[in-house]
Amino acid sequence: MRLLFVFLLLLPALATAEVYKCDGPNGPVFSDVKCGSNAEQIDVSDALSTSGLGVAVSMEERNNLMRARNERQHAYSINRMNQQRDQDLASIDRQISALNNQKSYANNNLAGATYAAGIDSQIGALRASRAMVNDNYRQRNLQGESGVNK
């Protein structure tokens, strides 16, 4: 209800605003300033007055806008997932580095060798975990890319 009220308040401003449509890399781009040499001015007041509170763009343009929006959302999701992957991998790398530091203090005797072997075992497990994390994110990226409507 509030959104409708705000839209009705802005309706007179929209009716007098200049809107330009240009061809962008991901489909049509709408702007209040000329957005390129191919800028086409759209008369918003005519579109609103002839169709009430209807649509000022064609169904094809609306579909293009929705597709571009979905692609932006998908790219954002992939970027967030990649950032999380990088954080997870960095955390594992810090753990491996800390274990390598501990290993460097192992004495050169039987007890130290046993301690170093235990640390090597932990490092091996962390490396395997790191590989699984990386593969998991790679699979999620591939699944996400195949789900995008292009």
Please check whether residues 48 and 97 belong to one and the same domain. Answer: no
d(Cα 121, Cα 74) in Å, to the nearest integer?
Answer: 39
Say whether both 84 and 46 belong to one domain. Answer: no
Of 138, 29, 16, 150, residue with least CA distance to 89: 138
Per-residue model confidence (pLDDT) at position 50: 47
- Domain enclosing residue 12, as ranges: 2-57
43 and 92 both lie in a single domain: no
Whether 120 is covered by a domain: the verdict is: yes
Q: Which of 10, 26, 57 is the last residue of a domain?
A: 57
Query: How close are the terminal C-alpha atoms of the chain, in Å?
Result: 34
Fill in the DSSP letter of residue 2: H
Q: What angle do CA 86, 89, 93 make, to 5 degrees?
A: 130
What pLDDT does residue 127 have? 93
Over residues 7-12, mean pLDDT = 56
Confidence band for 91, pLDDT divided at 50, 70 and 90: very high
Q: Are 79 and 133 members of one domain?
A: yes
Asked if residue 14 and residue 50 are part of one domain, the reply reads yes
* Residue 70 forms part of a structural domain: no
Residue 53: per-residue pLDDT? 46
pLDDT in tens, 97-114: 998 888 887 766 677 788
* pLDDT tens per residue, range 26-73: 777 777 777 777 778 776 655 544 444 445 567 888 888 889 999 999
> Which tokens in the block code for residue 149?
């409507």
Give residue 61's pLDDT: 86
Domains of the chain: total? 2
The per-residue pLDDT for range 11-25, each reduced to its tens digit, is 555 555 577 788 777
Q: Count Cα neighbours of 145 within 13 Å in the Cβ-side half-sphere.
A: 7
Burial 121-139 (b: 16+ CB within 10 A, else e): eebeebeeebeebeeebee
- As a dihedral over the C-alpha atoms of residue 65, residue 71, residue 73, residue 74, rounded to 10 degrees, the angle is 160
Reported as a single tens digit per residue, the pLDDT across 120-134 is: 999 999 999 999 988
Contact 33, 20 (CB under 8 A): yes
Beta-carbon contacts of 39 under 8 Å, excluding residues fewer than 6 positions away, are 20, 21, 22, 31
Domain assignment present for 18:
yes
